[in-house]
Chain A
């Protein structure tokens, strides 16, 4: 096994980013809904959304295999209709990242929307703006910092994803191998110094992500947000 470090880092970051971006629209929508709804079904949905956080990643991997395996209904359908295979490709890595990152994103997003006074949204409605317009001009800008914090958290979780990924995507160097999978393989092969080097690189990537988010959240128009003060402290 030869290591192309640059490629490995780029691939891992891409997969984690891809997973986070995949969850982002749903995560924000669900987080907002959970923050505002008073319906009874809320706690059931909340629990379901948290499930990937408490389940062992290997269990998630099994579920995903059950869904996306070539012989399973969804996997079969995707392959037959679009010629797309998921299992044991980079797509599986993205999906695994997305699933494990989802609860963290939803939790943080929900909390940051809950921090906004819903009466601000109500006043915006009386000023002639529909719910969607109010969401994009009031709720979202005010929750900006919290959402960014959620993104960093979700990204970090996606970057470290191992259990679900190895089950549904395997550990194929140059195809589905991410940093954490490579570290595992190196340790198994007894190549500890290289494993430590990769570990150091992973820490670096995580630090860069946190630093970047901190800088973005200090942009002027987000300064007034009171949502999740001190999340990055």
Chain B
């Protein structure tokens, strides 16, 4: 549990936030330049607030009242900056091992190397890594130092969205394997929904909302980002069969939703787990069961919620997995889509892509 009350004057406004985070992974969500990075720096001990206090569990890291300010090396807070900041004069192995002295052995380096799939990079120089590899090594370096809290600053921001090598699946794996509480700064809706248990929305230095990611990010107003962004449904799936001659791979979500995705020769393991992404705007909706379509993925569902406050409609459909569909308001009225309506969702095989 982390408890933060901070007042810190910044260039154009003042950061003045109070929150406590009890969930394993908490997102600090908001547009760029609202002081989220400064907040992480305060928690890591790299920046001194004008006043306030910062506590992890019952230990006071900073308190202006009691004149406590632990130096960063005594905080055991793993900081993963946006641009990775690997040490340029050390190879990957030595970058990873830099903070190993603080590790009590609960997070072995071998396990981190395996979880992040960076074994083949160990002898390389940081300058020879791609953006995603750099992020993974920076995350690994923080883990190996044995932190009790992870601070991740925009883990996806340094990456080209088109890149295949996304870091999200690794973040999920790290979350599930090590169970270290984390604060994730983000303005990526899919990232927050997929990774985080709670979201705290910050605007111009203030906390303006908090709650479960799906609930908060669909709320109108400050969180309208949800409607503007290219929302990606992220589904955790298990591979059930490969059919290379058909060019498809069959997968199934934990909730039992069967999907067909494009076959990829270099990912042959059946029974393997994977993350797949599906953009809300790439899904078709039909009120009748469709016939004679080329699309391989057709599944029935019931409309749970329709939110039109953002100028477009975000329709929350309950299939075995909750799926968001983005429609125009005209489509919603013409099809008569309202809460409780039964619909069929249609997704082309190639609209589903693997993440990671």
Report which A residues bind B (CB closer than 8 A): 117, 119-120, 122-131, 137-138, 141-142, 221-222, 224-226
B88 adjacent to A224 (CB under 8 Å): yes
Report which B residues bind A (CB closer than 8 A): 41, 44-46, 71-73, 75-79, 81, 85, 87-89, 98-99, 101-102, 125-127, 141-142, 145-146
On chain B, the residues within 8 Å of A222 by CB distance are 89
B73 adjacent to A125 (CB under 8 Å): yes
Q: Which of A117, A120, A122, A142 contacts B72 (CB 8 A)?
A: A122
On chain B, the residues within 8 Å of A224 by CB distance are 88-89, 125-127
B125 adjacent to A126 (CB under 8 Å): no
Q: Which of B77, B88, B89, B127 contacts A126 (CB 8 A)?
A: B77
Query: Once the chains are docked, how many angstroms separate the CA of A123 from the CA of B81?
Result: 8
Query: Once the chains are docked, how many angstroms separate the CA of A128 from the CA of B77?
Result: 9
On chain A, the residues within 8 Å of B76 by CB distance are 128
On chain A, the residues within 8 Å of B101 by CB distance are 128-129
On chain A, the residues within 8 Å of B99 by CB distance are 126-129
On chain A, the residues within 8 Å of B125 by CB distance are 224
Q: Which of A117, A123, A129, A225 contacts B89 (CB 8 A)?
A: A225
Query: Once the chains are docked, how many angstroms separate the CA of A137 from the CA of B127?
Result: 18
B72 adjacent to A226 (CB under 8 Å): no
Known: A123-B79, A125-B45. A130 touches B87 (CB 8 A): no
Query: Once the chains are docked, how many angstroms separate the CA of A173 from the CA of B98?
Result: 54
CB of A165 to closest CB in B, whole Å: 38
On chain A, the residues within 8 Å of B77 by CB distance are 126
Query: Once the chains are docked, how many angstroms separate the CA of A173 from the CA of B63?
Result: 66
On chain A, the residues within 8 Å of B142 by CB distance are 126-127
Query: Once the chains are docked, how many angstroms separate the CA of A151 from the CA of B145?
Result: 36
A142 adjacent to B89 (CB under 8 Å): yes
B85 adjacent to A123 (CB under 8 Å): yes
B89 adjacent to A124 (CB under 8 Å): no
Query: Once the chains are docked, how many angstroms separate the CA of A221 from the CA of B88?
Result: 10
Q: Name 24 A/B residue pairs within 8 A (Cβ), A-sorted.
A: A120-B85, A120-B88, A122-B44, A122-B46, A125-B46, A125-B71, A126-B44, A126-B73, A126-B99, A126-B142, A127-B98, A127-B99, A127-B102, A127-B145, A128-B102, A128-B145, A128-B146, A129-B98, A130-B71, A138-B87, A138-B89, A224-B89, A225-B88, A225-B89
Known: A125-B72, A125-B73, A126-B45. A226 touches B88 (CB 8 A): yes
Known: A224-B125, A224-B127. A126 touches B46 (CB 8 A): yes
B89 adjacent to A119 (CB under 8 Å): no
Q: Look across to chain A and name the residue whose beta carbon is closest to the beta carbon of B147.
A: A126
B72 adjacent to A119 (CB under 8 Å): no
Query: Once the chains are docked, how many angstroms separate the CA of A117 from the CA of B46?
Result: 14
B88 adjacent to A129 (CB under 8 Å): no
Query: Once the chains are docked, how many angstroms separate the CA of A120 from the CA of B90?
Result: 12
B85 adjacent to A126 (CB under 8 Å): no
Query: Once the chains are docked, how many angstroms separate the CA of A149 from the CA of B46?
Result: 31
Q: Look across to chain A and name the residue whose beta carbon is closest to the beta carbon of B146.
A: A128
- Counting chain B CB atoms within 10 Å of each CB, the highest count among A117, A127, A141, A226 belongs to A127
Q: Look across to chain A and name the residue whose beta carbon is closest to the beta carbon of B88.
A: A224
Query: Once the chains are docked, how many angstroms separate the CA of A130 from the CA of B141?
Result: 17
On chain A, the residues within 8 Å of B79 by CB distance are 123, 126
CB of A201 to closest CB in B, whole Å: 37
On chain B, the residues within 8 Å of A125 by CB distance are 45-46, 71-73
Query: Once the chains are docked, how many angstroms separate the CA of A224 from the CA of B88?
Result: 6
Known pairs A126-B77, A131-B71, A224-B88; list 5 more (Cβ under 8 Å): A126-B44, A126-B45, A127-B142, A127-B145, A137-B98
Query: Once the chains are docked, how many angstroms separate the CA of A127 from the CA of B73?
Result: 6
CB of B46 to closest CB in A, whole Å: 5
B75 adjacent to A126 (CB under 8 Å): yes
CB of B272 to closest CB in A, whole Å: 33
Q: Look across to chain A and name the residue whose beta carbon is closest to the beta carbon of B79.
A: A126
A119 adjacent to B81 (CB under 8 Å): yes
CB of B254 to closest CB in A, whole Å: 35
Q: Look across to chain A and name the residue whose beta carbon is closest to the beta carbon of B97.
A: A127
B127 adjacent to A117 (CB under 8 Å): no
On chain B, the residues within 8 Å of A137 by CB distance are 98
On chain B, the residues within 8 Å of A142 by CB distance are 88-89
CB of A26 to closest CB in B, whole Å: 24
